[in-house]
Amino acid sequence: MADVIFFDLDGTLVDHRSAVMETIAAIVRAAPDATAPPDELVALWWSLEARHMREYLAGQCSFAEHHRRRLRSFLPMLGEPVPDDPALLDAWIEERYLSAFEESWQTYPDVRPCLEALKGLPRAPRLAVLTNGDPGQQRAKLARFGLLGYFEAVLTPTELGAAKPAAYAAACAWMRTEPARAVNVGDMLEGDVNAAVLAGLTGIWLDRGIDFVTGGPSPAADETVLRIERLTDLADRLTHLPDPSPPAGP
């Protein structure tokens, strides 16, 4: 049995994409001077989130600034002026986006049964969340649904000094284990599975039937990829993995 199981958060434990889409769709519908159809504006917000999140993860801006950059591009399309004062941009994000976004968070129904099943295994692995998101926001998601207690750590670029995929080695060191004794579970085939395997971990793809980035069908994967369709399949999948090598001696 693996020593540590790392879980991705957005798209794996919490339905981030649906929360974003629901929140922005409501904002767009309430904008009388929007310059494009609602579907186009929702897609634009999603693409801006991806672009500026990459800048945040690369250390090019703070988490707050990544929100401001997104908003500076989005407000003209919404038919609204762009404030010069960063504090006004922060207020817009807080009052019109974040509050509604947080209310839209939903955990997937297979999450808690999965975590309970892992606790009941004869050699229960230690559990951690490994996410590229903001630490405060990600912990708030887990706390909302009473999930924090299942995890020994919630690891983000803030703690590790790097984002996935570079964070895998640091995450294993943080959890005092070796990559060969760790499993990473996530919905992103490249970033959560293939990259984890390259780092020496076992990667398990949670294929929820949708591509997190595009919203289209899941990407194709070859037969070597370890795949599950529900988190409730994870405990059984783990019991069929080869036993990892014993820990290195002192």
Please choose, from the candidates 55, 64, 46, 41, the residue with its C-alpha nearest in 3D space to the C-alpha of residue 10.
Answer: 46
At residue 1, the pLDDT reads 76
Other beta carbons within 10 Å of 81:
9
At residue 245, the pLDDT reads 58
Considering Cα of 24, then 25, then 26, then 27, what sign does the dihedral take? positive
At residue 2, the pLDDT reads 92
At residue 32, the pLDDT reads 93
pLDDT in tens, the chain (250 residues): 799 999 999 999 999 999 999 999 999 999 999 999 999 999 999 999 999 998 988 889 999 999 999 999 999 999 999 999 999 999 999 999 999 999 999 999 999 999 999 999 999 999 999 999 999 999 999 999 999 999 999 999 999 999 998 999 999 999 999 999 999 999 999 999 999 999 999 999 999 998 887 888 888 888 899 999 999 999 999 988 887 655 555 5
The CA-based angle 154-103-127, given to 5 degrees, is: 20
Alpha helices in the chain (DSSP H): 16-29, 38-57, 63-78, 86-92, 99-103, 111-119, 135-144, 157-160, 167-174, 195-198, 234-239
Q: Is 241 left (phi over 0), alpha (psi -120 to 50) or beta?
A: beta
Structural domain 4-15+106-239, CATH architecture: 3-Layer(aba) Sandwich (3.40)
User: Up-side HSE of residue 35: CA atoms within 13 Å toward CB?
Assistant: 10
At residue 78, the pLDDT reads 95
Domain limits, the chain: 4-15+106-239, 16-103
For residue 89, give both structure tokens: 């941009």
Alpha helices in 58-194 (DSSP H): 63-78, 86-92, 99-103, 111-119, 135-144, 157-160, 167-174
3-state helix, strand and coil shares in percent for the chain, rounded to the nearest 5: 50, 10, 40
At residue 87, the pLDDT reads 97
Residue 20 · residue 49 · CB < 8 Å: yes
Rounded Cα distance, 211 and 140, in Å: 25
pTM for the whole structure: 0.91
DSSP-assigned letter for residue 233: G
Other beta carbons within 10 Å of 100:
15
For residue 191, give both structure tokens: 């970033």
